[in-house]
Structure 1
Amino acid sequence: MKTFFRLIALVKPYFWWMALAALIGFATTGSGIGLLMTSAYIIAKAALQPPMVTLQLGIAGVRFFGLARGVFRYIERLISHNITFKILAKLRLWFYDAIEPLAPARLMHFKSGDLLQRVVDDIQSLENIYTRVLGPPLTALLVAALMWFLLGVYSLQAALLILCFHSLAGIGVPLLTRQLSRGLSVGIMNRKAEQQVLALDLFQGIGELQLYGQLPAHLAAMQSAESGKLQLQRKNAIIEGLHESLTGLLMNGALIAILWALIPSISTGVVNGISLTVITLAVMASFEPFLPLPSTLKHLEADQLAGERLFEILDAKPETVAPLTPLPFPAEHSIQVEQLSFTYPGSDTKALDRLTFTVLPGEHIAIVGPSGAGKSTITSLFMRFWNSSEGSISIGGHNITLFDPEELRRQIALVSQRTYLFAETIRENLTLAAPDATDDDLKKALTAAGLSHFTAKLDEWCGQHGMKLSGGERQRIAIARVLLQHAPIMILDEATANLDGVTEREVTQTLNAISSGKTLITITHRLKAMEQYDRILVLEKGKIVEQGLHRELMDGNGLYRRMWELQHVAEMTG
């Protein structure tokens, strides 16, 4: 129940609105009971052919309760849905605020489909926390108290009987159906999560599945997941029908028992025939709010599972946090890396091992090495996606852990190997770097990045993951974002690795042009135009094994020269 109480704490600010909605829900059901009671009174009384004036009270009651029931129902739905939407909005904002500091380090162990299921469906399922979990029991409890009072006026025995049958309908039937449906809600949610992952894998990897002949097997797995979900849903529907039947059976049992208790009182004059008719219909109507209660426990189980899945992510400690009093970013941008080491969680091998180097303001350096040497790890540490295990990175003489991570990332422009474009327009993808940029600013950036033909297409849709654009165009949009960012430090992490030779040369020239006067760190395994760099660091197994100018490294007989010869011999023979 710990998860349930944590969820309750999230909706606590809406307590008085929820209480008001419960009271109006009770008034709605009470109006329905009153409508049936007054209707029964008129029908039974009219059968005795009394003077018309004696029916006026009943007629007024029918009119009042008939109108009140509709009005109260509308107000109750208005308030309860308003609460539900506010709760959902609060939950979504709360979840995003909590999950954003965890990216990317703490989220790398989750599949994207599973994360999507948690962000969308799990939060969506929590809309039931009031309308299906908290509201119905409160309404049923108030109706039970009302019937206790009404029947207690005529007979204590009848009041006790209605209390027993209401208890069975409100506690016994829900517990029975919960026992029968134990695990169904969890199973259905797990199947949905499995389907989400499989569907996302299908859409994103359909080419690879076709290439290796695994598409039929993947479709079979999707069909199996769907069949399993439908089987659980059918069982769930049968149990729902069972609990409605049991509640109806209890209503009939309560009616018979109360009639048995009250009929002897007719001879004593405590109850007359008209009152007995009124009580009969009131008892029947009083079971209406007990019908949703068995579903309450099932929704509670589903909400607890959804809460556990959300809290599993949110309880993770962020890898990086902002200091309480962050330092302003310094005007002097020299970079010092001292004894920098890092080991990924779950690994025994150091990705970086005691790196030490300095980058002066405006200096252009290249960090090269074979795949797996630890080059991209340096980028992750500079951007504070991770914290170093040992050693430090300083800018302007201050450790980067003393800066606000968001401010640090605004001051370091990154062009990575994989440029992510959202399924939005070119304009919206560009304004990520500068939300206040004007159309003129966007067009200048596109022109400088070699995309002058895009200046008239700012509102053109980029496609899912930017797939409507070529690889070179996506990289150039990344360059345009860097231009709009106006950051004094640039990091190029395999920025041209996936481009063809002609596009790579054009993008490299553009990057060289825009990095003039800025501090530039290029991370690459492709040794192209190395002569332009002020210094080259050669990385192997997380250590700096060589450093110097291109000509100096070529005069040696180390890793750099071997890499150069292998790449350029391969190019010449290719």
Structure 2
Amino acid sequence: MRTIFGRLLKLNLIYWQWMSLSVLLGAATIGSSLGLMSTSAYIIAMAALQPSIADLQLAIVGVRFFGISRGVFRYLERLLSHQTTFRLLARIRIRFYEGLEPLAPAHLLDFQSGDILARIISDIETLQQFFLRVLAPPLIAAIISILAGLFIARYHLPLAWLLISGLFLAGVLIPGLIRSLSRGMGQRLIQTRAKLQATLTETLQGAADLLALNADHAQLKRVNEINRTFLLLQRQTGRFQALGDALSGWVIHLTIAAVLIIALPIVSNGGLSGVDLTVITLAIIASFEAVLPLSEAFQNLETTLAAGRRLFEVIDAEPTVKDPLKPLPRPETFELQSEALSFQYEETGPLAIADLSFHLPEGGCLAIVGPSGAGKSSLVNLLLRFWDPSGGRILLGGQDLRDYSASDLRSWMAVLSQNTQIFNGTIKENLLLARPEASEEQLIEAARRAQVHDFIMNLPETYETWVGEGGVLLSGGERQRLALARVLLKDTPILILDEPSANLDPLTEQAFFDSLCEIIEQRTTLLISHRLVAMDLADQILVLHHGRLIEQGDHISLLKAGGFYRRMWDLQMQAEVVERIPNLNFNRNSCFKLS
């Protein structure tokens, strides 16, 4: 806890000048309340003695001053404290994203997307309580306790010590008791909230599948169970907070009762006047305003520490890939080569790639094919340095890939995959992600080469057309062509095609690869697919199975060899026959039977 508290305190101290001023303004606000109650008590008590109005003139001015200053100080304190907090939250969000970005995608596999969203939004929002509800109240309470004690000591020193004791009991002992009774509840509350948000996100993302599987009621039941747990924790937290407020209220009444018991004999003996006792009593009541928020502050401490712990858990995580201290500059050539490349996602897990070697000259096209789980996508992850090899190495321009910075490598490569993300925005905004400074002419040229410009121009708002989240308002072929246009706009020397036509029908697929012919000739291209489509574009084909290279050659030679590649080809051709012949039936005794 101390480490998390210290780190949160260090973050807050960046704005220590503003925070100090905010605390002083908060103390001035309660000090004005103390002055208002004291001067009001003086006027009321003195009025019973029917003095000259001139004797009350200073107190009347004091009432006006403290009444106006209390509102002014409160406004300035709220303005400054919230402005400081919002700036701090913005800084924390940036720091969190800076820590999160190097972890993608390898380390983020350990987290649910909804949980990451909960940390970015809810946990960071919780941290606004750290200054407003945790740090500031004890500091303000300390200042007011000292001032109130000195003020009462002017009248009677034992009464001042009685006030300090009451403030200590209400502001320290009772909040400490409430925190010990509710220990661990704040952390459970934050964890349950994150679980609820993650589950809701997962439910929304998979709503269509849940409905199709008729599992929506079971999922709703699961959400309701988590929600009930969250509400129960909130109610328990509220009960403890109410208990703390009630006990603090009792302390105020007991303190006033004790003051009256001690002070009344003194007044009777002439040691204090009745006016003084009235001022003392109302001043003591006003001074408790400073310590009443401390019970909530102790509870907020645990929730903010739990939120901070969740944030630092991500920020402190070691990236799977680290850049070299002195990254190499842009290579002179963009040939790719692997030497005895091996890779496994976990140290004790199976090899996703085993002893793979290949050479892709600059401007050449290499196809890597194989069934699902052959290690094809793992190779893409290594090329983009999302992970580093477990053994062997990949060379770019004759230099180890690990000698380049990850951001530089990704700026020289463009990836077109089956799951290319289309963002919730306009067509133009999606294209400009590849090159924000691109001109209108460059954007249109990229769309023309991807054969999507005519389609865009037929839309009501052309390039300003909204495509929806994930490009839901576009067909599969339109999304892939839009993604291809984005790749072309990036204009990189290396092009990686990772299952680019996996979700396309045969006619759309053929048209899609026709548009790739000219593009491939101008770049170092790696084509990865489990479908043997457009294999004649490749200079060489590598066949992987369970992460191992089992065959290599060009399309014709591999077909003639009659090995694994030929079996994949025959199965694919048979599947295409099934799609084209409507009166083809399937039974257990024969894979394909004409009726």
Letter aligned with residue 343 of structure 2: F
Letter aligned with residue 508 of structure 1: F
**Offset, 1:87:** 0.9
**Offset, 1:182:** 2.9
Letter aligned with residue 549 of structure 2: I
Please name the residue that 2:468 is paired with.
Answer: 463
Please name the residue that 1:218 is paired with.
Answer: 219
Q: Deviations over 1:476-501 (max 9, x none)?
A: 11101111111001000011111111
Tell whether 2:477 aligns with 1:476. Answer: no
For residues 346 and 245 of structure 1, what CA distance do their matches in structure 2 show?
56
Please name the residue that 1:13 is paired with.
Answer: 14
Please name the residue that 1:454 is paired with.
Answer: 456
Letter aligned with residue 426 of structure 1: I
Please name the residue that 2:526 is paired with.
Answer: 521
Q: Deviations over 1:223-244 (max 9, x none)?
A: 1222222222222222222222
For residues 397 and 237 of structure 2, what CA distance do their matches in structure 1 show?
63
TM-score, L = length of structure 2? 0.94
Letter aligned with residue 551 of structure 1: I
For residues 326 and 314 of structure 2, what CA distance do their matches in structure 1 show?
27
**Offset, 1:318:** 0.6
What is the DSSP-based 3-state SS (H/G/I as helix, E as strand, rest coil) of the residue aligned with 1:201? helix
Name the stretch that deviates more: 450-459 or 164-173: 450-459
Please name the residue that 2:569 is paired with.
Answer: 564
Q: Deviations over 1:313-350 (max 9, x none)?
A: 22211111222221111131111211111111254211
**Offset, 1:274:** 0.6
Which 5+ residue runs of structure 2 have no aligned equivalent? 580-595
Aligned match of 2:558 in 548, 553, 561? 553
Please name the residue that 1:181 is paired with.
Answer: 182
Letter aligned with residue 70 of structure 1: G
Name the stretch that deviates more: 339-348 or 516-525: 339-348
Identity, % of aligned positions: 44
8 Å contact from structure 1 (residues 247, 291) kept in 2: yes
Letter aligned with residue 445 of structure 1: A
Q: Deviations over 1:58-103 (max 9, x none)?
A: 0111111111111111111111011110111010001001110110
Letter aligned with residue 84 of structure 1: T
TM-score, L = length of structure 1? 0.97
8 Å contact from structure 1 (residues 340, 388) kept in 2: yes
Name the stretch that deviates more: 61-70 or 224-233: 224-233
Mapping of 1:307-456 within 5 angstroms?
307-345=308-346, 347-452=348-453, 453-455=455-457, 456=461
For residues 35 and 511 of structure 2, what CA distance do their matches in structure 1 show?
81
Tell whether 2:210 aligns with 1:205. Answer: no
Letter aligned with residue 414 of structure 2: A
Letter aligned with residue 454 of structure 1: I
For residues 75 and 337 of structure 1, what CA distance do their matches in structure 2 show?
64
Q: Deviations over 1:163-217 (max 9, x none)?
A: 1111111112212222333333333322322221221122111222122221111
Name the stretch that deviates more: 237-246 or 432-441: 237-246
8 Å contact from structure 1 (residues 157, 261) kept in 2: no
8 Å contact from structure 1 (residues 154, 270) kept in 2: no
Letter aligned with residue 555 of structure 1: K
8 Å contact from structure 1 (residues 102, 319) kept in 2: yes
Letter aligned with residue 439 of structure 2: T
8 Å contact from structure 2 (residues 513, 534) kept in 1: no
For residues 291 and 220 of structure 1, what CA distance do their matches in structure 2 show?
40
Please name the residue that 1:155 is paired with.
Answer: 156
Q: Deviations over 1:421-443 (max 9, x none)?
A: 11122111111100101222222
For residues 531 and 454 of structure 1, what CA distance do their matches in structure 2 show?
30
8 Å contact from structure 2 (residues 364, 521) kept in 1: no
Q: Deviations over 1:102-148 (max 9, x none)?
A: 10001011111111111110111101110001001111111111121
Please name the residue that 2:503 is paired with.
Answer: 498
For residues 131 and 342 of structure 2, what CA distance do their matches in structure 1 show?
50
What is the DSSP-based 3-state SS (H/G/I as helix, E as strand, rest coil) of the residue aligned with 2:154? helix
Letter aligned with residue 521 of structure 2: S
Letter aligned with residue 406 of structure 2: P
Mapping of 1:1-40 within 5 angstroms?
1=1, 2-40=3-41
Which 5+ residue runs of structure 1 have no aligned equivalent? none
Name the stretch that deviates more: 136-145 or 456-465: 456-465
For residues 490 and 539 of structure 2, what CA distance do their matches in structure 1 show?
24
Letter aligned with residue 567 of structure 1: Q
For residues 144 and 81 of structure 1, what CA distance do their matches in structure 2 show?
24
What is the DSSP-based 3-state SS (H/G/I as helix, E as strand, rest coil) of the residue aligned with 2:354? strand
8 Å contact from structure 2 (residues 155, 276) kept in 1: no
Shift in alpha-carbon separation, 1:29–1:550, aligned structure 2, 3 A: same
How many residues align? The count is 574
Name the stretch that deviates more: 265-274 or 6-15: 265-274
Letter aligned with residue 356 of structure 1: S
